[in-house]
Amino acid sequence: MIQFKCRACAGTMQAPASRVGAGEKCPICGATMAVPESSVPIGRAMLCVAMLVGSGLFAFVMAMREQNLAAIIVAQLGIIAATLLLRH
């Protein structure tokens, strides 16, 4: 299931992944919304993931500059962890 927010009333909506791109009616206000490709994490969790990805990418860029293999691996692990978090 994909979870997303209604643009009209900010209510939480959900639809099966097979309905991506199709219109889904909000159960609260009745507005029709296109189903996005992936769930939109809400609030604080979203911010944490964004910071993780950001710091992971920053570490990766720094590691590439320094040509430090260990730092590159650590940075990639951080990016992978953030990606896994985003999927939940």
In the complex, least distance from residue 25 CB atom to Zn ion, rounded to whole angstroms: 9
Q: Evaluate whether 28 touches 10 at the Cβ level (below 8 Å).
A: no
Q: Evaluate whether 45 touches 61 at the Cβ level (below 8 Å).
A: no
For residue 14, the cross-strand partners are 3
Structure tokens at 74: 């650590």
**Distance from CA of residue 51 to its chain's centroid?**
12
Stretch of residues binding Zn ion (CB under 5 A), selected from 20-28, 42-50, 53-61, 80-88: 20-28
Binding track over 22-61 against Zn ion, x by CB under 5 A: ----x-xx-x------------------------------
Judged by beta carbon, residue 34 or residue 72, the one nearer Zn ion is 34
In the complex, least distance from residue 12 CB atom to Zn ion, rounded to whole angstroms: 9
| By the rule CB under 5 A, 11 interacts with Zn ion | yes
For residue 3, the cross-strand partners are 14
Question: Considering only CA atoms, which of 53, 19, 48, 50 is closest in space to residue 33?
Answer: 19
Contacts to Zn ion by CB under 5 A? 6, 8-9, 11, 26, 28-29, 31
